[in-house]
Amino acid sequence: MNEYDSNRIVDLTKKINFNLTKNIEEANCYILNTCHIREKATDKVYHEVGRVKKIFRGRKKPIVLITGCVAQAEGDVLVKKEKYIDAVIGPQSYHSINNIISSLENKSKKKNFTEFETIEKFDTLNTVKNSSNKISSYLTIQEGCDKFCKFCVVPYTRGPEYSRSISEIISEAKQLVQNGSKEIILLGQNVNAYEFEGKRLSDLLISLNEIKGLRRIRYTTSHPKDFTDDLILAHNNLRKLMPMLHLPVQSGSTKILKDMNRNHTIEEYMEIINKLKTIKRSMKFSSDFIIAYPGETNEDFEKTVSLLKDINFINSYSFIFSPRPGTPAANLKEIDNLTAKRRLLIFQKIAEKIKKNYKVGLINSYSKVLFENKVKDEFKYFGRDEHYNPVIVSSKSNLVGKIRTVKIKKCNQNTLFGDIIFGNKAIEYAA
Ligand code: SF4
C-alpha cells in the first residue's frame, strides 16, 4: 500500500510542478513514506534523515516530510526529536501535501498533519490521474481496519475501515489499463471487508473482470472472518481472477487465535481453504505467521507446524512476535528469546522445504507468464505466473506486457527459469 501511496504523492505534487528525481542531491523536497509494521521502524526514520542531513551539509536544506504510519504513530515525537524534519503527515492526510508544502514555504508553525480524513483523501485522489504505467499496478480499494488484533498497529495508524465507491475504482482501473497495466492488484488492509452501498468485493471483481485490456486481477490482504461464499464462487466464475490467495492465519492454534482476537477458529480457516480447493483445483495459498506469541505452548506451536504441512503454503512469511507500542499485546509477557528463536528456525526450515519441493515439482511443467520488465542482463525478461511465482526467460523479442506459455526448466529457492513455447500444441498447465 505504501508503494501505491508513494505513487499517488508523486501524482499530487506534479500539480505544484514537483517531479521525481533519482538524484537525491538535487531534491528540493525529500519525502520518506514509512511503514510501522516491522521492528525498529522509527529508528530507521532517524537514520535516514541523518543521511539526508549529511548530503545537504553546508547547503540549503530540502523540505523534509515524513509520511505514512510511522508519522501517524509517532507524530510530534518525531518533529521534536529531529529538528531537520519539517512535518509529519499521516496516511489519511497526504492528499493535503501541496498545501502543507506551501504552508511550510510560508514558515507555518504547524508540523503535525495526522488527522483521519479518509473520505476527503479519496475525493482529492479521484481528481488526480493515476500515472502508474507498470504492467502490474496496485489499486487501493479499502483502507483501515476494525478488527483490532491484539498485536497490530493498523487500526491506530490507518484508522477505521473505509471502502471507495465501485465507480471510483473502475475509473482508476481503466486509467491504469490505458497507461499500459495488464494486471491490477487490489489493496486493502482488510480487502475482503470491502463494502460499498451493499456491494461486496465479489461484485467489484465481477465489474473489473469486464474491463477490456485488463488480463489479470489479484487482491490482498484478506481476513478469514470476511471470507464469504460469494468471494469463493468468484474464484470459479471469473477468468481473470488469479488462482492464488494470501490468507494470513498467524497461528495454527485456535486458543492462540482467540488470545490474538483474530475472531475465527482453525476449523473455520480450513473450511475456507477446502472450499476454494474444491471449487478451483489450481488454487494455491500463502500466509503470515507470528511465532512465539505470548502464551504459545509447545503444543500450540506444533499445531502451527501441522497446519503449515497440511496446507502446503507455497509462501510463508514468519516472524517472532515483537510488541508494538500502544497495542494490547505490548503488555503481555513475552516468551524467552531462545525458545522463540528455536521455534522460528524449525518453522522456517519446514516452510522453505515445502517451497523448494513445490518449485522443483514445477520443472518440466508449463506456466502462463505475464512479463513485466526486461532484466538488466540483455535478452532476459522477468514475469510472474498465475501463482505469482517469479519467472525469467531469454528472448530476442520484446515480451513486456505479453502473456506467454513457458516450459519451466530449472529453479532456485525463489525464481523459476524456463523457455517460451511457440505454437498451439496441447499443453497441460501446472495445477
Ligand atoms: S485484521 Fe490485519 S490489519 Fe486488522 S488488526 Fe488484524 S492484523 Fe491488523
Supply the pLDDT for residue 230: 97
DSSP 377: S
Which atom of ligand 1 sits closest to the CA of residue 145? 4
Tell me the one-letter amino acid at 305.
V
Band of pLDDT at residue 118, cut at 50, 70 and 90: confident
Asked if residues 244 and 209 have their Cβ atoms less than 8 Å apart, the reply is no
Q: What DSSP letter does each residue of 261-289 carry, written as one string?
A: T----HHHHHHHHHHHHHH-TT-EEEEEE
Ligand 1 center to residue 223 CA distance, Å? 8
Range 296-299 contact pairs with CB under 8 angstroms and sequence separation of 24 or more = 296/251, 296/253, 296/256, 296/335, 296/343, 299/253
**Is pLDDT above 60 for 341?**
yes
Please report how the helices 298-311 and 266-279 are oriented relative to each other, as an axis angle in degrees rounded to 10. 0
Asked if residues 128 and 12 have their Cβ atoms less than 8 Å apart, the reply is yes
Distance from C-alpha of 212 to C-alpha of 200, rounded to nearest angstrom: 22
Tell me the one-letter amino acid at 296.
E
Supply the pLDDT for residue 130: 87
Strands of the 112-113 sheet, one edge to the other:
29-34, 63-68, 87-89, 112-113
CATH of the domain at 89: 3.40.50.12160
Q: What would the mean pLDDT of 109-128 be, rounded to a whole number?
A: 86
Band of pLDDT at residue 424, cut at 50, 70 and 90: low
Ligand 1 center to residue 189 CA distance, Å? 7
> Does 218 share its domain with 324?
yes
> Does 125 share its domain with 216?
yes
Of 2 and 422, more confident: 2
Supply the pLDDT for residue 126: 86
> Does 430 reside within a domain?
no
Supply the pLDDT for residue 425: 53
Tens of pLDDT along 271-317?
999 999 999 999 999 999 999 999 999 999 999 999 999 999 999 99
Tens of pLDDT along 163-177?
999 999 999 999 999
Ligand 1 lined by 246 (C-beta under 6 Å): no
> Does 390 share its domain with 299?
no
Distance from C-alpha of 347 to C-alpha of 109, rounded to nearest angstrom: 50
Closest CA to ligand 1's atom 8: 152
Cell of 226: 470476511
> Does 64 share its domain with 185?
no
> Does 216 share its domain with 265?
yes
Asked if residues 295 and 259 have their Cβ atoms less than 8 Å apart, the reply is yes
Range of the domain at 282: 120-361
Cell of 407: 516450459
**Is pLDDT above 60 for 426?**
no
Q: What would the mean pLDDT of 82-91 be, rounded to a whole number?
A: 95
> Does 54 share its domain with 109?
yes
CATH of the domain at 377: 2.40.50.140
> Does 370 share its domain with 274?
no
> Does 221 share its domain with 290?
yes
Supply the pLDDT for residue 110: 82
Supply the pLDDT for residue 119: 83
> Does 140 share its domain with 257?
yes
Counting ligand 1 atoms within 8 A of each CB, the residue from 38, 145, 187 with the most, and so the one to mutate, is 145
Tens of pLDDT along 358-383?
999 999 999 999 999 999 877 999 99
Counting ligand 1 atoms within 8 A of each CB, the residue from 152, 257, 259, 319 with the most, and so the one to mutate, is 152
Tell me the one-letter amino acid at 321.
F
Ligand 1 lined by 27 (C-beta under 6 Å): no
**Is pLDDT above 90 for 429?**
no
Supply the pLDDT for residue 243: 98
Q: What DSSP letter does each residue of 1-27 carry, written as one string?
A: -HHHHHHHHHHHHGGGT----S-GGG-
Distance from C-alpha of 62 to C-alpha of 44, rounded to nearest angstrom: 19
> Does 395 share its domain with 410?
yes
Of 113 and 338, more confident: 338
> Does 351 share its domain with 376?
no
Q: Of the residues 84, 115, 146, which one is the last residue of a structural domain?
A: 115
> Does 428 reside within a domain?
no
Q: What would the mean pLDDT of 197-226 be, rounded to a whole number?
A: 97
Tens of pLDDT along 61-81?
999 999 999 999 889 999 999
Ligand 1 lined by 189 (C-beta under 6 Å): yes
Q: What DSSP letter does each residue of 17-63 carry, written as one string?
A: T----S-GGG-SEEEEEE--SSTTHHHHHHHHHHHHHHHTTTSPPPE
Tens of pLDDT along 260-284?
999 999 999 999 999 999 999 999 9
Could you list the beta-strand ranges (E) of 78-123: 87-89, 112-113
Supply the pLDDT for residue 131: 86
Distance from C-alpha of 418 to C-alpha of 366, rounded to nearest angstrom: 9
- Residue 356 parent element (H or E): helix 337-361
| The model scores a pTM over 0.85 | yes
Ligand 1 lined by 224 (C-beta under 6 Å): no
Band of pLDDT at residue 245, cut at 50, 70 and 90: very high
Q: What would the mean pLDDT of 2-31 be, rounded to a whole number?
A: 94
Tell me the one-letter amino acid at 121.
K
Tell me the one-letter amino acid at 89.
I
Band of pLDDT at residue 25, cut at 50, 70 and 90: very high
Q: Of the residues 63, 85, 115, which one is the last residue of a structural domain?
A: 115
Tens of pLDDT along 128-158?
888 888 999 999 999 999 999 999 999 998 8
Strands of the 284-291 sheet, one edge to the other:
244-246, 284-291, 315-320
Band of pLDDT at residue 236, cut at 50, 70 and 90: very high
Ligand 1 lined by 223 (C-beta under 6 Å): yes
Band of pLDDT at residue 431, cut at 50, 70 and 90: low
Supply the pLDDT for residue 275: 98
